[in-house]
Amino acid sequence: MDISLDLKTLAASYEKGLRPTELVAAIYDRITARGEDNVWITLVPKEQALVRAAALEASGRSAQQPLWGIPFAVKDNIDVASLPTTAACPDFLFMPDKSATVVEKLLAAGAILIGKTNLDQFATGLVGVRSPYGVARNPFNSDYIPGGSSSGSAVAVSAGLVSFSLGTDTAGSGRVPAGFNNIVGLKPTVGLLSASGMLPACKALDCISIFALTVNDASAVLGVAAGYDSADGYSRPAPAGWRASPAGGVQPFRFGVPRQDQLKFFGNSAAEALFLRAVDRMTALGGEKLEIDYTPFAEAAGLLYTPAGTAERTAAVGDFLNSHADALHPVTRKIIEAGKQATGVDVHRHYYRIRELQQASSATWEQIDVMLLPTSGTIYTVAELEAEPIQFNSNLGYYTNFVNYFDLAALAVPNGFQPDGLPAGITLIGPRFSEPLLAGIGEAWQRDTGLSLGATRHAYPETAPATGNANYPSVTVAVFGAHMSGLPLNYQLRELGARLLSDCSTAPDYRLYVIAGALPRPGLVRTVQGGRSILGELWQIPTAGFGAFVAAIPAPLGIGDVTLDDGRVVKGFLCEAVAAADAPDITSLGGWRAWLETSRQEPALAAPQ
């Protein structure tokens, strides 16, 4: 059965009569056909998976199970009841009596677990070669590394063995393998997915990540799995306005790229060429490129594997290390033992410096919506990594290590192939809880590239572009009067940290009136006939301040949905029709600035100094 495992295709196939038991049987045939690929540490017995599939068939599809019949895998540092957890260390093996919170949610949503996957031991590494269970075979070229630490999880998705998988991400483990396997890797905001039942590497930085064939699939899984968990000390609820699904990805956005002298590709000119083309393509999608200073991000990335940076790994598995030192992979042992050199003072100073660098980087986010980076600057062969395990691993973290330190979200997406046939990826990075914004841009990007899914030959499924503008952490608002640039109330937007996006025009079915007062205001009203396009401006307002801004707007004005001339629907100023009944109609002028010029009306208020 040669069927794509992306969620859209599977949903259509189930509608046409495919049964979960048929799909599960086909998946185990695929696994058998791949032979010893070192992807799995523990497979769910085929008979057990078929029993699960048969139970789903018997109960039937329902809205309460949005992942009904969807096969998935779990990295083997995440607990599944009745299956061993090894963290790629056989001597560490234990049998959990309870599944991780996220796994429980996925199973409740109707997903079918296929097995637990290989990883860099104790989730330490970005390479995928530090495991006694072997190197998960890169499906594009087995001479090359699959990326880590979530190696098996990424390969399982790329090779078409599961629809999605769970990985973990401390410093890039949910992104680097995505780049090396031509798939999507979503590293959500720390605390958005419960870490209960996940063996920590660095507890303050870790998060469970999601690998999928498409951005939409990753968002769908995130929507099911996200949620506050009081049992997880680092869990936190998503703020009001947040949602997992992509929205409005093709609206104008600003993306930051490091200066040319700060980009590193470690001698890989093919990867460099692919990234430079990605910058052009992102601009063509509606993005505005801005060069940023990458210095604080790079310095933070370089601090991860210092003794103070590895001390938290020592805290996580130090007791086991003390009693089973010989059970660890030599490189893993060297890294974790290094943390013993750090004193408490060293660790505090380390985090003080991280906080200083995070503060230094904060100005960057006042200029851009997302950062665009290579997922990694290059890729290495297994032999190269084994010969130079520490430095080459650090090279792979140049664009990833800082993300969790700075409390950011990230989405890795495919970017094409080098002349040697190896894939390369890009990563979109945004502020915490910016997953819907990243997904909107990433979905548009993936749809535009036309790349096949993973290492399969299946095409990207036809999807409608994402719509809407509910993109936490900001809201796009259309203004038509005194809040426009240079006018008396514009300061209210700037005090909120709002940013001008562009001029705009409404659809041609609005009328504009002058609402009298100490400061005359425009009254925009939608009409059935006799309207025209009205000029205004689009501003991006931080969601955190949007509610207070709306609450301060005096009647008869308010915020509602405004349709623009390009078909987009955004939030914007509207007026109650009753208040415009006797107000002067200035629709023919086409906008507030034209009325100001015509009436020689000078702004009555000055912005506070």
List the one residue out of 228, 118, 125 whose CA is nearest residue 165: 118
Do 479 and 595 contact (CB within 8 A), yes or no? no
Decide if 162 contacts 39 (C-beta within 8 A): no
* Predicted pLDDT at 607: 38
Q: How far apart are CA 176 and CA 211, in angstroms?
A: 11
216 exposure class (CB count in 10 Å sphere: 0-12, 13-18, 19+): buried
Q: Helix, strand, or coil here: 133?
A: coil
In angstroms, how far is the first alpha carbon of the chain from the final one?
Answer: 69
Q: Is 82 a catalytic residue?
A: no
75 catalytic? Reply is yes
The CATH homologous superfamily for domain 474-599 is Gamma-glutamyl cyclotransferase-like (3.10.490.10)
- Mean of all residue pLDDT scores within the chain: 94
User: Which tokens sit at 490?
Assistant: 């514009």
| pLDDT recorded at residue 604 | 43
pLDDT tens per residue across span 520-561: 999 999 998 889 999 999 998 888 788 889 999 999 999 999
Active site (annotated) includes residue 187: no
What would the mean pLDDT of 350-356 be, rounded to a whole number? 97
600: left (phi over 0), alpha (psi -120 to 50) or beta: left
User: Per-residue confidence at 503, pLDDT binned at 50, 70, 90?
Assistant: very high
How confident is the model over 394-439, as pLDDT tens digits? Answer: 999 999 999 999 999 999 999 999 999 999 999 999 999 999 999 9
Q: Which long-range contacts (CB under 8 A, 24 or more apart) does 491-499 make?
A: 491/607, 491/608, 492/549, 492/552, 493/539, 493/541, 493/549, 496/541, 496/542, 496/545, 496/549, 497/366, 497/542, 497/545, 498/539, 498/540, 498/541, 498/542, 499/366, 499/539, 499/540
> What are the distances in angstroms from CA 37 to CA 83, 169, 421, 555?
20, 23, 20, 66
Confidence of residue 577 (pLDDT cuts 50, 70, 90): very high
| Catalytic annotation, pick one of 75, 105, 264, 571 | 75
HEC assignment per residue over 211-234: EECCHHHHHHHHHHHCCCCCCCCC
Q: How confident is the model at residue 247 (pLDDT cuts 50, 70, 90)?
A: low
DSSP string over 356-383: HHHHHHGGGGGT-SEEEEES-S---BHH
Residue 557 β-bridge partners: 575
Domain chopping of the chain, boundaries: 7-236+243-449, 474-599
Q: What is the pLDDT of residue 250?
A: 62
Q: β-strand 164-169 against 207-212: which pairing, if any?
A: antiparallel
Report the alpha-carbon distance of residue 197 to residue 204 in Å, rounded.
15
> What is the CATH class of 7-236+243-449?
alpha beta
- Pick the catalytic residue from 131, 149, 376, 474: 149
Q: Give bridge partners of residue 117 from the DSSP assignment.
A: 40, 75
Burial class (CB in 10 A: 0-12, 13-18, 19+), 194: buried
| C-alpha to C-alpha distance for 606 and 609, rounded to whole angstroms | 9
Q: Which of 99, 131, 153, 173 is catalytic?
A: 173
